[in-house]
Amino acid sequence: MEKLLKTIKEKMQHLSKRQKLIAQFLIDHYDKAAFMTAARLGKAVGVSESTVVRFSKDLGFAGYPHLQKMLQELIKGKLTAVQRMEVSSTRINESNILKSILQSDIDKIRVTLAEMDKDNFNNIVKLILSARRIYILGVRSSAVLASFMSFYFNLIFDNVRLIQTTSVSEMFEQILRVAEDDVVIGITFPRYSQRTVKAMQFTKNQGAQCIAITDSSQSPIVPFADKVLYARSDMASFADSLVAPLSVINALIVAIGMNRTSHLYQTLESLEAIWDEYNVYEKADNNSE
């Protein structure tokens, strides 16, 4: 962010009067501008949409979408809950919130699929299958993703450890013995968890194979990962949108399960007997009409 704002400030004196209005707005309100269309930004500062587009190109960007994407990538992990509320109010159709949110989630899954590197995905599957132990890290809103992955991985493997903790010290106590033959999966999305990033850095230094599941190459966990799975995430008001990450994790679970079908069948057969004996699930009444 500092680099982008510095570039804008350096070029300020060479801009036209109207472009300077845009530049000053970006400097003062970059958190809001990052999620404005060119037309909305122009209206906010009193210039035309075409002026905003020319401004973007004069800064060296291919167009306004490129500038906007740069702003979004750099700030979305830094927005406070209050700022999220303010930004989302300009993006959500309040007359049809359900449609706005579901359509947004559909778009994120579509983009995630289009950007997914299939070979990278397959290599991550192989890496997990070869691990001596599998550690799964995820806190705050990402804890639900880590828990989901752990639940199904435990049906497939006997060597899964979900790191559940409320403090940094407890997290390090649970990963203290991580070693080179282990795989550590760190999951974090904006706002990025410092605990997860620090734990990932520790396991990387211990020689473990580290896999990150995050939203962007700008994510602070990426430098400590050997492999990265990217899934688009965005905010819906103060809440995190984790639909695309969950879908990617689901695909990972299925791909791994298909490589361990024999073991998985045996496990599920044993569990079905236990579930029936202890009435874990409701069963259909075959005699009902």
Could you tell me the domains of the chain?
2-75 (1.10.10.10), 109-256 (3.40.50.10490)
Res 46: pLDDT: 92
In this prediction the pTM is: 0.72
Are the C-beta atoms of 76 and 190 separated by less than 8 Å? yes
Distance CA 3, CA 74 (A): 10
- Residues in the chain where the model's pLDDT stays below 70: 1-2, 73-95, 166-167, 234-239, 284-289
- The most distant pair of C-alpha atoms in the chain lies apart, rounded to whole Å, by 82
The token pair that represents 213 in the structure block: 């599941």
The closest alpha carbon to 143, from 183, 182, 195, belongs to: 195
Distance CA 202, CA 174 (A): 12
- Report the sign of the C-alpha dihedral through residues 229, 117, 112, 4, in that order: positive
Distance CA 128, CA 135 (A): 10
- Report the sign of the C-alpha dihedral through residues 209, 211, 217, 223, in that order: negative
Phi and psi at residue 252, to the nearest 5°? -65, -45
